[in-house]
Structure 1
């Protein structure tokens, strides 16, 4: 029975130690990619699957942010990673209108200003 994709150990796929440097990861990927590349293994579905797993492992472990998430959350790193909107796309919660801002027990920004004006006027 094949293992589900989310339970793959990327370090084991690349055959490197968890403390491996980026150089070591890159070297391991290149060596294994030469052996498993689909062009060198025609009609070999197992080699294609291994090559895809190898490429995914390299993609994650060669990116410092993804690797940090993977090291922290393990095989569930994709689900546990915070989902932030892209910087170029405005968030639906972003606003330039200070009237919509809330400040804990004071409520809205207008209420805070009103309380301050009442106290010091």
Structure 2
């Protein structure tokens, strides 16, 4: 069964890069450019993983995850951001499996995706 991943970033280049990489690895990939679009997609569809930027239009990445949690939807998440600080880590505790700084290493993303999805199969 194909694992479904939602990629959320307001930068088209990052969405395209991650989409291409993960599609080539056999994952089903959907994308969103805003927090609202991500929330709408995650409420309407099943995803095995969400990779999202912290700074997004409408809702930031943590707010998207908090909204999903309020709707009893729990999706493992990787947060990517140029603004990694203690406040981001503190507000996201328990919601996010991995926090990665931008610019990120593509191999680190690939490895994190594999590890998180492997944990979900157990």
TM-score (norm 2): 0.30
Q: Which structure has greater helix proportion?
A: 1
Give the structure with higher Rg (CA): 1
* TM-score normalised by the chain length of structure 1: 0.30
Q: Which has the higher contact order (CA 8 A, sep 6+)?
A: 2
